[in-house]
Structure 1
Amino acid sequence: MHTLLLLLAGIAFLMIVLEDVIHLNKAKSTLFLGTLAWLLLFLFPDQGVEAADIQLMLNENLLEIASLWLFLMAAMTFVAYLNHHGLIETLIYKFLPSRIGEKSLIFMVAIFSFIFSSLSDNITATLVSVALVLSLKLPPHKTLKFAVMVVFAVNSGGVSLITGDVTTLMIFLDNKVAIQDLLWLSLPSFVSVMLLASMLSFGLSGELLIDGGARTHDRVGMSIAIIFLATIISTILLNIIAGVPPVLTFLFGLSIMFLIGRFFHKQDSREDMLDYIRAIEFDTLLFFLGILLLVGMLKEIGVLDNLVTIYEVLPPIHANFVMGLLSSLVDNVPLTAALLKADPAMTEASWLSLTYAVGVGGSLLVIGSAAGIVAMSKVAEVTFISYLKYTLFLLIAYLVGYAGSLVIGDIVFG
């Protein structure tokens, strides 16, 4: 039975990698295989294992998944509202000058992608940033440079806030790092983004005219944008001060958004503010559900104990770096989930560097992160081969950022 369960997990991970080849959404395949695996655990338990024991295992896994799910649902609903009303687009063009050089623009795109990905999920941040790049109507080779910049900046921006990257959220929810310690990661992450922007700026010499058009926003929309920012800040402060779980603060902020929409918003084209829950990427949430069920199953049958062996062979500094490289080939969500379940013995400083590694390492290949996949699907110039042209630049930036995370770890926990 263990062999069959391992085979199911292997098929699931293969179908994730080949999603664009087999044209089957990874949410569907992982949810099917994840639930099937647990059904088999119940139907064919190991000798001496009762159904009640498996139920306890499942309940433990479902509690972890529910916390992650509800937090992401709340954050994604906020972003869905802001996107629908063009508030994000308005903000972008508000800060862009009407005339700007290409060299300056790539830095501005990098900074925007970095900051926005800290506040929203990587998929939304990439979609918005890529839409901005495509609106510039640059030559193909320059569009490719900007798209590469977006992918790296989005992945780098997400690692320092639990709202920005699901792997960061997973590591935090497992009590491996604290919110205030994660914030320090923004320093090496930002330095590496600026370094990549500097390298990519070579060959950019033109000047662009930016037509932002007439963009308006209402008071209610701006109020909800402020509530979103206040919710993020409150999540950090309340967790540090009183240990309040982030999911509770975010659900509270979401409830305020719903109440404002009910009593004050009269010109929404949707029937009800609750409709914005239906606008979020549920395929992403279902993918997380399926993959975390699979990884939970692998943990319960003892398979993940083998993953820790790399930490027995290599010191955590090197092992974490390798995990970052591996995340460019394997989706970082199952990789991080497997590491957390295996629970290698590491210091808080090492968990901090691992957070950076698995969050940013996926940028090295276009297939290594959700941001890369989105960019490849939206920008014709971005292909697996064309992206490889900038692998050396990306690797240098990743090395600098990872080294910075080690320095930060020594400073914070030294």
Structure 2
Amino acid sequence: MELLNLTMSWIGFSVLFIFIIGYYFIANEEKYEIDKSVPALFIGIVSFILIAIYYYMNGLNIHHVHDEAEAVILEIAEIVFFLFVAMTYIESLIHMGVFDSLKYNLISKGFTYRKLFWVTGFLAFFISPIADNLTTALILSTVLITIEKTKKEFLVPGAINIVVAANAGGAWSPFGDITTLMAWTAGKAHFVDFLFLFPSSIIGYLVTAFLLSRVVPDTKPHFDPDKEEKPKMKEGATNIIFLGIITIICAVISHQVLDFPAMWGMMFGLVLLKLHSYKLTKRFGKEHFNVFESMAKIENNTLLFFFGILAAVGALYFIGWLSLASIVYQEDYLGPTMANIGVGFLSALVDNVPVMSAILKANPNMDLSNWMLVTLTAGIGGSLISFGSAAGVGVMGKLKGIYTFGSHLKYAWTILLGYFVSIAIWYLQFVVLGLN
């Protein structure tokens, strides 16, 4: 089906205007105290309704709108169901005391603030490829505020460190960020291709972390073992960790071997978790663990936000705006490499999810190395500004009044240096050495 170019019509300008206004309210979520899922859903749903009305009024084939809406729903379902299962596992681990135990072990070791800075950063970097960057950032920012509630010289660089580490760690895994998940499910790269981004991700992160660590005090936080009771993981917690690993393996096999959507393997993992929940309920009672309680704690506003924003980007694609914007990828203009480097800065301003969705919809002609570059830049570029990624927004909520736009901007130069180092490593690896 060849789409009509409606960019210069009233419907084209209307959809673009609605998107801009809606995104203004998304970016100013805290100012207007309106959940970001509300404007996202509004622009996504209303845009398609207006397009359908335009087709109906002008006697066009409205089945084209129907087919595009179904394609968008399929794309959204693959991502939302994937996230739904991942979030259920995370909430289950929280309920079973896994992260409380981790938190206690960190603060009871007698580490200095600087050592805790490095430990939380490395945990964020290596947990986010499995859990996802938002969940990882929320968990570890909770650890930060538990360790110290007022000392900004530790909390601010520590929060930035977690955001950067979570985004960098998520960039080299199909599960680590929504952008990598979208690129993987769209078939732009195989599972192992993302692993080649590990050197770029970790070296860029280490540059930023080293510079930030210089301002972190080398003293120890106060800890009284007599007042802090050591938490214990509930019976069956270890099995849930194991089932989570099995679920990830199933998702990989489902997508790479069986050519199913990755969410199919994740849903199978949910079945396994439900069976484990049934077993624990029979043995210890409903209060011990109930998988439906974990589901109830999922941040549904996040899932609805992704539904709305992906639908909105689908509408922009259907109108023709994304094809117009993809001109920058042509060699006569910026070309793929420079355009993808610019994507990182755009991700910081707009958020990497709609940016990556727009690129995938426009589908510029790029080789594997440049698809890996845009995955890298969209992921780590969001760290440049505090609200440029879901991880940053989440940590701002956890550390209100401490980790702010201004406090982040003060150290943004350290992130920018790490960003360019990551790109340099990518260039050496993929272009100079051709290792992909």
- TM-score, normalized by the shorter chain, greater than 0.5: yes
Q: Which residue of 2 aligns with 1:364?
A: 384
Structure 1: 5+ residue stretches without partners: none
Equivalences for 1:78-227 in 2 at 5 Å?
Answer: 78-94=89-105, 98-137=109-148, 139-203=151-215, 204-208=217-221, 213-227=229-243
CA distance in 2, matches of 1:318, 1:395: 16
CA distance in 2, matches of 1:97, 1:402: 38
Q: Which residue of 2 aligns with 1:18?
A: 28
CA distance in 1, matches of 2:428, 2:253: 25
- Aligned partner of 1:4: which letter? S
Equivalences for 1:264-413 in 2 at 5 Å?
Answer: 264-265=280-281, 266-269=284-287, 272-312=290-330, 313-379=333-399, 380-410=401-431
Q: What whole-Å deviation, never above 9, does each CA across 1:118-154 have from its counterpart, x for those lacking one?
A: 2223322111111111122162122111111011111
**TM-score normalised over the length of structure 2:** 0.89
Check the 8 A contact 1:133/1:146 in 2, yes or no.
yes
Q: 1:271 to 1:150 in 2, by over 3 A?
A: closer
Check the 8 A contact 1:98/1:209 in 2, yes or no.
no
**Secondary structure of 1:366 counterpart:** coil
Deviation at 1:241, TM superposition (A): 4.1
**Secondary structure of 2:377 counterpart:** helix
Q: What whole-Å deviation, never above 9, does each CA across 1:195-223 have from its counterpart, x for those lacking one?
A: 22211121432134566741212331210
Deviation at 1:413, TM superposition (A): 5.6
Check the 8 A contact 2:277/2:289 in 1, yes or no.
no
Moved more, 321-330 or 202-211: 202-211
Check the 8 A contact 2:107/2:147 in 1, yes or no.
no
Moved more, 374-383 or 72-81: 374-383
Moved more, 304-313 or 135-144: 135-144
CA distance in 1, matches of 2:60, 2:132: 40
CA distance in 2, matches of 1:302, 1:323: 20
Moved more, 136-145 or 54-63: 136-145
CA distance in 1, matches of 2:200, 2:317: 33
Check the 8 A contact 1:239/1:246 in 2, yes or no.
yes
Deviation at 1:88, TM superposition (A): 2.2
- Aligned partner of 1:248: which letter? W
1:77 aligns with 2:88: yes
- Aligned partner of 2:272: which letter? I
**Secondary structure of 2:189 counterpart:** coil
- Aligned partner of 2:274: which letter? F
CA distance in 2, matches of 1:316, 1:307: 13
Q: What whole-Å deviation, never above 9, does each CA across 1:287-344 have from its counterpart, x for those lacking one?
A: 0101111111111111111211221211222111111011111011111111111111
Check the 8 A contact 2:382/2:389 in 1, yes or no.
yes
Check the 8 A contact 2:254/2:264 in 1, yes or no.
no
Moved more, 151-160 or 205-214: 205-214
Deviation at 1:92, TM superposition (A): 4.6
Check the 8 A contact 2:22/2:42 in 1, yes or no.
no
% identical aligned pairs: 29
- Count of matched residue pairs: 414
Q: 1:263 to 1:412 in 2, by over 3 A?
A: farther
